[in-house]
Amino acid sequence: MQNTGLAYQAPTGTPATRYCNGCGNGLVATAAVCPSSGTATGMGLGGPVPKSKTAAVVLAVLFSFWTWCYTYKRDSAKFWIALGVSIVLAIVTFGFGIIVVGPAFWIWAIVDASVKPGSYYTNFPNG
């Protein structure tokens, strides 16, 4: 059994309650990092690290699609789509495309953060 202080593998004979997303090894329920692959499990020392729906909505209002960095583990595709389209339009239309698409991404981010249930944030990333 390897013990890193933050996480350790479930001892042989002890059923694993979680599995690493990186390598598939069994982990104990409170493991913050997989000892084999070093992959973060999204768990703090006391359990899942909760997010706040209020913070997500405020970030969406202030920073548009950048709010998806707050919940990146589950919303990375939305973030990269919005960023990629914004960059391509800025290059192709010399910045004028952002005037049209920018507000659309902003509204999308606000609506997306607002309609998700509170459990999505409090149980993040497993909510």
Instruction: Describe the crossing of helices 72-92 and 96-115 by its angle, rounded to 10 degrees.
Output: 160
Is-above-0.85 flag for pTM? no
The mean pLDDT of 94-106, rounded to a whole number, is 87
Instruction: Render pLDDT for 104-115 as a digit per residue (tens, 0 to 9).
Output: 999 999 999 999
Q: What is the pLDDT of residue 122?
A: 79
Structure-model confidence comparison of residues 3 and 59, the more confident one: 59
34-38, 39-43, 66-70: which is most confident: 66-70
Radius of gyration in angstroms for the set of CA atoms belonging to the chain, rounded to a whole number = 19
Residue 6: closest CA among 44, 36, 48: 44
**Closest Cα to residue 86, out of 111, 70, 109?**
109
Three-state SS at 118: helix
Question: How confident is the model over 43-77, as pLDDT tens digits?
Answer: 554 455 678 999 999 999 999 999 999 998 889 99
Q: Hey, which bits of 35-79 come out as E strands? A: 43-44, 47-48
